[in-house]
Structure 1
Amino acid sequence: MRIGFVVYGDLETRTGGFRYDRRLIAGLRERGDRVDVISLPWRRYPRGLFDGLSARLADRLDGPFDVLLEDELAHPSLVGLNRRLRARSDVPIVSVVHHLRCSEARSSPARWCSRAVEQRYLDALDGAICNSESTRTTVERLAGPALQTTVAPPAGDRFDPAIDAREIERRAREPGPLRTVFVGSIVQRKGLDSLIAGLSRLPGDSWTLRVVGSPDADPGYARGVRRQVARLGLGSRVFFAGELADAALADALRASHVLAVPSTHEGFGIAYLEGMGFGLPALASAAGGAREIVDHGETGYLLRPNAPAEIARALRTLATDRGHLARMGGGARERFERQPGWAESTARVRRFLERVVDDATTGNATPGGADAVDGRNGSGPSGTDTDGRGGTDPGETSDTDPGESRADPGVDDGAGVDGKGQERGGGRRVGL
């Protein structure tokens, strides 16, 4: 197949969502497909909506493709462009959905607006590839039962952890503070401020925190976090490492006890899975797809958004009960080993695309409308992404707004799954 793959900005951006896109593209190319990457200018929301008026951008998308894949992050620009394409091309359009913007809570008018835009975007699709059952359920609730969907969870095999149960046990029982690591873009959705607030409630000699991630997506928020650290007098215990190359990040994970990213929402949370590969329990968001890989109290903790008291309780337990830390670390490693690999997920995507293209060619489908094929994706509990794109600090604006915002713990994240990753609810699902 010849595939167009549309993204915002630079495909090499170092976030979980873009890493997912890169691995998917590489896997498709390994199977003999030609994949042409089409990069759209990254617009501040909602400025991207005006891209729908651009004939030049529409021409870029109207290539000799068998199918057009789109990262849903670019939906503000694509919602209008796709409708222009529909008027002149029969090429099916499939979205890669890491998480929906409207899954994040925000002010009611902003949430209504993003929901309306994303619903209109989904209405023009022939299919959606989701990174978790949670993400698929939110897509189906918004798009309705006509849209074909499948789940292709990411793998956490970016590294070769080379760690066993004995090493996890030894590390957990080492004397000294609980070595906590945060990995992700320093944006509000990732909850770094809540993590620091929670840690500040613990005795000063019981923990350290290493922050690994770029501050560039939301400089205002990143500056606010540094001011928070200074105000709380935590400068000797919180270390900002910046963005690390893979080898240095692997060293940081191997040297840590727990990965803590208490996001307000994660479509999947690939960082959790990568940390689990090193035997790190995950302190994770209960909102979204993390529940599909994190078993609360066994391989980590699922916490409500913006809950420093819950964060403090969880980390206090791990700091004071090193036997429990060791058991959770071993369980995390075992869960990591059960995760499907990229080869399996890419093969699932390839079969899904073949079905969508076949339906479009034979006339069995309208946008979003081939016959349903019931069934699970067959992967078992899947999980994580999301990615660290965007966010804005109250009172400050970002020079670059990749389109995230602070979430509200009272919002229904639309997961549609229980804590074990089992399905609830309908939708026209393709079991592949």
Structure 2
Amino acid sequence: MKTLCFAYPGDLETPTGGYGYDRKVIAGLRDLGWQVDLVSLGDGFPFPSQSTLAKARELFARVPDGGRLVVDGLALGVMDEAAAEQAERLDLIALVHHPLCRETGLSPDQAAELFQSERKSLTHARHVIVTSHATSDQVTDLFAIAQKDITVVLPGTDIPAPVSRAASGTTRLLSVGTVVPRKGYDLLLAALADLAELDWNLDVVGGLDADPDCYSALQAQVVDFGLSDRVTFHGAVAPKMLPDFYRSADVFVLASRYEGYGMAYTEALAYALPVIGSGGGAVKDTLPPRASVYCGTEDIDSLRQALQLLILDEGRRRDMSAAARISAAQLPSWRDAATQFALSLEAGDA
């Protein structure tokens, strides 16, 4: 039986796109006959305590000689010393969702420190797996990792049963993503503030604990804009509850400043939702033009125009919904993703 250790930071059940990718790939590899041993590296990444980092290094050292070790980049990016220690002994594979130094809200010193540690870590990996072509290009441009040493494994998408949406007077907007500056909720609220005369409401689904200051600022923004009765922050929800939000929505909108891929966008397409998005090349490459409106990063005017269009024009929403369903059928499945992931792991066996 083919085996590997999969090391990850924090709680694997955390309801974010990155952890969701990890869970799906692990399950898919197991379905393909792989033995996947899970290694939890502890909390606090990418800024772990020294004790957490020391324990994580010990866990790396426990992997048997010659063992295949896949490490989520949220942890590996700050484990350059451990990577250097184990590179000759292990088959080390980096899984990079997006470069850590590109996270919104970092201080210049934090970004510089993360850049240096991630660059060093990735040079010690035998291979790097990324979740989008845009991230592949960034890993090469930022860290000088050759393209031949990178494999793009796009996330899969589960296609639900067709959704029937009853028309209503209120346009139901949905945004899904952890409440952090990178997700651009402040931009979305600013755009919606000028559309208060229209009939809409916004549901935001995503963890509230990652950046309490960001959440507090957004709550204040909602009050300042007079949107308290229009915007609801639901926090993180169990995976089995998330489909209900997609089914009850009319439009999906996420004003991200940056995304390594943007799984929430493709999930929305699978539920036949018209999509408004931003977030750089990975998102622009993912969104089909007939089913979406792509707005430039931090372009509040474009965001406002797109929202106004889809709030007012039910016929346009209906056409985009049909296009979303067609586009979603062409996306890779999670079995496709797991199969490609496995092939990239096996490439080093030759």
Counterpart pick for 2:305 among 303, 306, 313: 313
Give 1:310 deviation, angstroms.
1.8
SS at match of 1:182: strand
Do 1:104 and 1:264's aligned partners in 2 also have CA atoms closer than 8 Å? no
**Distance (Å, rounded) in 2 between the aligned partners of 1:286 and 1:263:** 5
One-letter code of the match for 1:320?
L
Q: Which residue of 1 aligns with 2:315?
A: 323
In the alignment of these two chains, the number of paired residues is: 345
Do 1:58 and 1:84's aligned partners in 2 also have CA atoms closer than 8 Å? no
Q: Deviations over 1:29-78 (max 9, x none)?
A: 122221111111223554568866x3x53332131263110100113442
Do 2:46 and 2:78's aligned partners in 1 also have CA atoms closer than 8 Å? no
**Distance (Å, rounded) in 1 between the aligned partners of 2:198 and 2:257:** 28
One-letter code of the match for 2:40?
S
SS at match of 2:234: strand
One-letter code of the match for 1:40?
L
Q: Which residue of 2 aligns with 1:333?
A: 325
Give 1:286 deviation, angstroms.
3.7
SS at match of 2:125: coil
Q: Which residue of 2 aligns with 1:57?
A: 56
Do 2:179 and 2:207's aligned partners in 1 also have CA atoms closer than 8 Å? yes
**Distance (Å, rounded) in 1 between the aligned partners of 2:138 and 2:50:** 22
Alignment of 1:40-119 (within 5 A): 40-43=41-44, 45-47=46-48, 54=54, 56-62=55-61, 63-64=63-64, 66-86=67-87, 89=89, 91-104=90-103, 106-119=106-119
Q: Is it true that 1:160 corresponds to 2:153 in the alignment?
A: no
What percent identity do the matched residue pairs reach? 30
**Distance (Å, rounded) in 1 between the aligned partners of 2:208 and 2:182:** 13
**Distance (Å, rounded) in 2 between the aligned partners of 1:108 and 1:245:** 35
One-letter code of the match for 2:339?
A
Q: Cα distance 1:86–1:95, how it changes in 2: closer, same or farther (>3 A)? A: closer
Higher relative CO (Cα under 8 Å, sequence separation at least 6) belongs to 1
Q: Deviations over 1:339-394 (max 9, x none)?
A: 01111111111111111233xxxxxxxxxxxxxxxxxxxxxxxxxxxxxxxxxxxx
**Distance (Å, rounded) in 1 between the aligned partners of 2:185 and 2:115:** 26
Give 1:223 deviation, angstroms.
1.6
**Distance (Å, rounded) in 1 between the aligned partners of 2:327 and 2:147:** 34
Q: Which residue of 1 aligns with 2:228?
A: 235
One-letter code of the match for 1:116?
Q
One-letter code of the match for 1:99?
H
Q: Which residue of 2 aligns with 1:390?
A: none
Q: Which residue of 2 aligns with 1:121?
A: 121
Q: Deviations over 1:154-175 (max 9, x none)?
A: 1221x62432xxx46xx4xx24
SS at match of 2:8: strand
One-letter code of the match for 1:301?
V
Give 1:216 deviation, angstroms.
1.3
Alignment of 1:204-219 (within 5 A): 204-219=197-212
Give 1:143 deviation, angstroms.
2.9
**Distance (Å, rounded) in 1 between the aligned partners of 2:116 and 2:122:** 10
Q: Which residue of 2 aligns with 1:345?
A: 337
**Distance (Å, rounded) in 2 between the aligned partners of 1:132 and 1:356:** 21
TM-score in terms of structure 1 length = 0.75
Do 1:48 and 1:76's aligned partners in 2 also have CA atoms closer than 8 Å? no
What do you get for the CA RMSD once the two structures are aligned?
A: 2.1
TM-score in terms of structure 2 length = 0.91
**Distance (Å, rounded) in 1 between the aligned partners of 2:277 and 2:311:** 17
Q: Deviations over 1:102-151 (max 9, x none)?
A: 23465544433322222111111110111111111111222332761111
Counterpart pick for 2:293 among 279, 301, 312: 301
Q: Which residue of 2 aligns with 1:181?
A: 174
